[in-house]
Amino acid sequence: MTQSTFASLQLCQPLLTALDKLGFQTPTPIQQRSLPLLMEGHDLLGIAQTGTGKTAAFALPMLNAIQDKGLRAAKKRPLALILAPTRELASQIFEDIRQYSQETSIRATCIFGGANQNPQIRRLEKGAEILVATPGRLMDLEAQGFLSLSAVQYLVLDEADRLLDMGFIGDIRKIAAMLPSTRQTALFSATMSKEIRALSAFLLNQPQQVSVTPKQVAVAKITQHKLAVPTAKKQEALHQLLNRDAVRKVIVFTRTKHASERVTKKLLKAGLSASAINGNKSQNARTRALERFKKGSDWILVATDVAARGIDIRGISHVINFELPQEPENYVHRIGRTARAGETGVAWSLVDETETKRLKDIERLIKQPIPPLSIDLKELPPSEDQPTPEPAPRQNESAPAPGPAKKDKGTDERKRKRPRRRKPNQGPSAQSKKDDAKRKPRRRKPQKVSQGG
């Protein structure tokens, strides 16, 4: 790695001007290794986690080529295609490309599912050199005739391992069949599995390979700790950690969508400003939650792994793993939300008795033990109850007296209703008279009809 500045990488002046405005001076390791290879026209297999600067690593070479050649896309026919697994990641890549290309006339657009397709169609009809897309929406619009991939010269698969995990392998193969064979392709993944090797063999032509190891990413500027906490005490432990003075902006990770909703509701009930982002949320709801988090309206974001892949927000001081992920690689992705752009960060993991194997797998991956951190959970309930009135409902829930009282009332009401339902059967005159009154006309009408016949 002889290059030490973006200027030494022979990027065109409009890109250098934009990077200077953004405060980017020194390329990251993945950028230093990838940019020269891509600018020389090689296919590339990149192994790198989020937070390493890989978006610029694949975006700057294609922007540079399109600008230098003066290429212009026809309507509905983009020149570069970037595939991403989630809406959030696609949106983040799109925003980054807009910033990098702000001094050029290069047009970019973004399409994804979960949103109205009509505005996306209108943007495609205007023409865009670069298209960022999720596979499902891309194939939908292509099938409807609103998009052609016949002019694509540059293809990038970002978070390829996540694309495979989410079942997009079939779509990727179909999309590749729609592209010209004479194209440049780059594939970026956090892991090098057999599936990734097979996909790279299918897509790439004599590729070069670069990698940034998980240890380099995870350990460098992030202080990590684990807390042994029983499952039933995790919410209390979370509240105590959030009350620490150094905590400013936090992402709390859960394994499931339901857990993210449950944790968020309890945080809101305790008077903390939080929102959730998961696969059950609509695109508009997810966008609003991210905007509130970015602007500081909410300082806690509760997220699942899939939803969080595209989150690239500066100023996140802490990441808290409420539950450890299923895959150890996702731990690296999670804690990589903090310590971005040269900052430092803290990652805490709440580990119960069922997660010890996951913890060992994570420590094996990052090649170091995570030091323990202890907290006194016994002090938590009094400290929460005294300053705020919100915890009172939690006391009522745990107290034995109010609960049975409500249930007794409910059972008393049911007992009272049952005799009332039986009384009409025992011969109440009012209802029986009404029934008779209804029946008599019905008996007379047939008689009149028969007499008329």
> From CA 53, how far away is CA 231, in angstroms rounded?
36
Task: Give residues with Cβ within 8 angstroms of 428, minimum separation 6.
Answer: none
Q: Which of 24-28, 216-220, 445-449 has the highest mean pLDDT?
A: 24-28
DSSP code for 426? G
378 pLDDT band, cuts 50/70/90, is: low
Q: Are 76 and 133 contained in the same domain?
A: yes
Residue 435 has pLDDT above 80, yes or no: no
Token pair of 359 as six digits = 């913890």
Give the per-residue pLDDT at 114.
85
- The four Cα atoms 126, 129, 134, 140 give a dihedral, to 10 degrees, of 40
Can you give the CATH number for the domain in which 348 is found?
3.40.50.300
Give the per-residue pLDDT at 219.
59
- For 68-79, what is each residue's pLDDT tens digit? 999 999 999 999
> From CA 426, how far away is CA 441, in angstroms rounded?
24
pTM of the prediction? 0.66
Residue 391 has pLDDT above 70, yes or no: no
Residue 302 has pLDDT above 50, yes or no: yes
Q: Are 229 and 364 contained in the same domain?
A: yes
> From CA 72, how far away is CA 437, in angstroms rounded?
83
Task: Give residues with Cβ within 8 angstroms of 346, minimum separation 6.
Answer: 222, 223, 224, 225, 246, 317, 318, 319, 338
Neighbouring-strand partners of residue 374: none
400 pLDDT band, cuts 50/70/90, is: very low
Q: Are 240 and 203 contained in the same domain?
A: no
Q: Based on the structure, what is the number of domains in the chain?
A: 2
For tokens 């042994």, what's the residue? Answer: 228
> From CA 149, how far away is CA 138, in angstroms rounded?
10
Whether residue 412 is contained in a domain is answered as no
Contact 75, 127 (CB under 8 A): yes
Backbone φ and ψ for 53, nearest 5 degrees, come out as 90, 25
> From CA 431, how far away is CA 441, in angstroms rounded?
17
Query: Which carries the bigger pLDDT value, residue 309 or residue 303?
Result: 303
Residue 436 has pLDDT above 90, yes or no: no
Q: What is the mean pLDDT of residues 109-119?
A: 94
Give the per-residue pLDDT at 333.
81
Residue 19 has pLDDT above 70, yes or no: yes
Domain boundary among 212, 234, 261: 212
> From CA 90, how far away is CA 309, in angstroms rounded?
10
Query: Which carries the bigger pLDDT value, residue 47 or residue 52?
Result: 47
- For 168-188, what is each residue's pLDDT tens digit? 999 999 999 999 999 999 999
Domain of 275?
Answer: 216-394
Distance of CA 449 to the CA centre of its chain: 72
Domain boundary among 212, 243, 261: 212
Give the per-residue pLDDT at 41.
96
Q: What is the mean pLDDT of residues 203-223?
A: 78
DSSP string of 354-385, one letter each residue: T-HHHHHHHHHHHTSPPPB----GGGHHHHHH
Contact 226, 371 (CB under 8 A): yes
Q: Are 143 and 199 contained in the same domain?
A: yes
Q: Are 180 and 237 contained in the same domain?
A: no
Domain boundary among 212, 240, 262: 212
How wide is the angle at C-alpha 319 spanned by C-alphas 380 and 280, nearest 5°?
95
> From CA 141, how far away is CA 445, in angstroms rounded?
63
> From CA 270, how far away is CA 267, in angstroms rounded?
5
Average the pLDDT over each of 10-19, 152-161, 414-423 and give the range with the smallest value.
Answer: 414-423
For tokens 């619009």, what's the residue? Answer: 141
Query: Which carries the bigger pLDDT value, residue 446 or residue 243?
Result: 243
Q: Are 307 and 225 contained in the same domain?
A: yes
> From CA 279, how far away is CA 305, in angstroms rounded?
10
Q: Are 183 and 269 contained in the same domain?
A: no
Average the pLDDT over each of 104-113, 133-142, 349-358, 426-435 and give the range with the smallest value.
Answer: 426-435
For tokens 């983040």, what's the residue? Answer: 92
Query: Which carries the bigger pLDDT value, residue 380 or residue 16?
Result: 16
- For 154-166, what is each residue's pLDDT tens digit? 999 999 988 988 8
3-state secondary structure of 208: strand
For tokens 């009172």, what's the residue? Answer: 392
